[in-house]
Amino acid sequence: MSRLEDAVVKYYAASHLRVERSVVDDPIVHGICTAVSTFVARVEERGRPVVWSDARNAAAALRWRLLTEPLAGAEGISVALGVLRTEVHRLAERVDQGVLEELRRLVTAAGRLEDAEDQLGDSIAAATVNTHGSVCVVSVGVSARQAFQRQLSARLPSVAFVSPRQFLNGPVWRRAIVAGISSWFADELFTAPRCVELVLVHHAWLRDRSVVSGLFATAGGSGIELPLPAQRTSSRVYETIRPPAETVDWSGVEPVGGKPQDDDPSDDVPAHLVALAGGYGFYLDVDADTIRGVDPAAAAGHWVRQLPASELDVGSIVLLRKGISERDTLLPRVSAVLGDDEAVVREQQDLWKCALRHHLEAGKLPAIRRALDRPRLTLTYARYWAGRNCISPRQPTFGRLLEYLETKDVEACLSAARKLHSAHLKAGQQLVKELGDSVDEAVIRRMDTEDTVTLSVGSGSGSLQITLFKVIAVSPETTTVPASALRTALQLRGAEWLA
């Protein structure tokens, strides 16, 4: 099917889609979620003290699991509840007793889960009845999809359990059952559907949208507007719940062993922590332009490419090595590209970097700012230029810096930096080619059902292990880390609440 034909099919489906809403009225789960909201609100009122981060994140995760997964066999629910019980004992006599009492009420309410029935799972099973044709269940995350598959596949052997991307890229179904409210999913799920009938199944107290719009918009209009069934009017207070990845307290998420540090502050740079699936994460420098990753929507054979760093978001797929930085991964290839020129190139680099370090140590940052016309240049970033992980500032800043430092042979330094940058580019292209040979259609399909896939790239002594990771959250906060720690997949603590 051509892209034009595909667009016509989606337009037709969006124009004729029948949407229903099936609500789950579960008083036990409602009571627990209310207790979570009250506890989280009390922690927020006190400015999110670090001491509460684990309990707060576990509570939000418990609520999310209860709203998106069947109760029976949901491992995430029991794990989160176990953490909350531990926190009650750990925090006793150490914290605000009012907040602690709310946590105790939450744990008590959660104790009723032992007597609860799986009303969400039963409602999804009921929505498949009397359907003449193919049926799928669309879940908001991998853990939810796996939990539904474990609990319902025996009862619903002909029903497929799919991710949102599998749904959008797959066949046209007779009925799609979406487990959750519409705002948890991309608008395309409703405005470019792959189904004739769509049923939203969610808990009754969740506030949802009344309309989804946006597809096939033109300069003069907003595109298709798909009205959603109205939520029943009652005395119930509707609540807006966002995924944990959007509300997490990042003070409780950090690499195992703490934030990377070294003895030399000259290489420290501002960065964002990016949480990855599988309990990993990495630091991405604030000024990064791109990062190597995989685009499943690209043409076959061209899946591996440089992704714009500004567009990195939940669901993006990045390529990283566990415990080894991108720089160290490329270093042997860079040396091979430079060949006999490497010694001269490194010498020229050391020349201006050493001079810059001396000027910074002498407190001449204000003079450097004036010479470069960079009044906002920070000491941290100027030190990064002088460190081993930066090739050079961009032009024309680099040329002005060399002139300010009174470098004897400006052109030689410029040429060396160009050669080193070119070598890194070629080394990166070599790695991309090797990755492109390793990332095939089977790997892309695996990423539909798995959050990480590790590949062996290259051969012989040059072979290495690189992992495809799905991004689950990007911290909005900025921290300072050694440049050597950038783009290195590190194990995180506290990240389990983001999934």
The answer to whether residues 326 and 350 belong to one domain is no
In angstroms, the Cα distances linking 375 to 367, 380, 382, 465 are 10, 14, 12, 43
pLDDT tens digits for range 10-31: 656 556 788 899 999 899 999 9
Domain limits at 389? 333-424
In a domain, 232, yes or no: no
Of the residues 424, 445, 473, the one at which a domain ends: 424
C-alpha torsion 305→449→73→53, nearest 10: 10
The answer to whether residues 407 and 354 belong to one domain is yes
The answer to whether residues 380 and 416 belong to one domain is yes
In a domain, 391, yes or no: yes
Q: State the CATH number of the domain containing residue 195.
A: 3.40.50
The answer to whether residues 407 and 348 belong to one domain is yes
Whether 217 has a pLDDT exceeding 70, the answer reads: no
Global model pTM greater than 0.85: no
C-alpha torsion 320→324→330→331, nearest 10: 170
Q: What is the pLDDT averaged over residues 126-132? A: 88
The answer to whether residues 75 and 95 belong to one domain is yes
- Which burial class, exposed, middle or buried, applies to 333 when counting CB atoms under 10 A from its CB (0-12, 13-18, 19+)? buried
Inter-helix orientation angle 342-361/365-372, to 10°: 120
The answer to whether residues 190 and 47 belong to one domain is no
Of the residues 99, 116, 133, the one at which a domain ends: 116
Which are the contacts of 139, defined by CB distance < 8 A and separation ≥ 6? 68, 145, 148, 161, 162, 163, 179, 180
Other CB atoms within 10 Å distance of the CB of residue 342: 16
In a domain, 147, yes or no: yes
Under 8 Å between Cβ of 91 and 39:
no
How many Å apart are CA 178 and CA 165, to the nearest integer? Answer: 13
C-alpha torsion 199→202→208→210, nearest 10: 20
Inter-helix orientation angle 397-404/365-372, to 10°: 130
In a domain, 248, yes or no: no
CA neighbours closer than 13 Å in the CB half-sphere of residue 267: 15
In a domain, 15, yes or no: yes
The answer to whether residues 312 and 442 belong to one domain is yes
Q: What is the pLDDT averaged over residues 250-254? A: 85
The answer to whether residues 156 and 201 belong to one domain is yes
Q: Tell me, what amino acid is at 497?
A: W
**Structural domains in the chain (count):** 4
Under 8 Å between Cβ of 65 and 36:
no
The answer to whether residues 279 and 400 belong to one domain is no
Whether 343 has a pLDDT exceeding 90, the answer reads: yes
The answer to whether residues 486 and 410 belong to one domain is no
The answer to whether residues 47 and 175 belong to one domain is no
| E strand or H helix at 119 | helix 119-127
The answer to whether residues 11 and 41 belong to one domain is no
Of the residues 116, 149, 167, the one at which a domain ends: 116
In a domain, 239, yes or no: no
The DSSP letter of residue 164 is H
pLDDT tens digits for range 439-494: 888 898 888 778 889 988 766 656 788 899 999 889 988 998 888 888 999 999 88
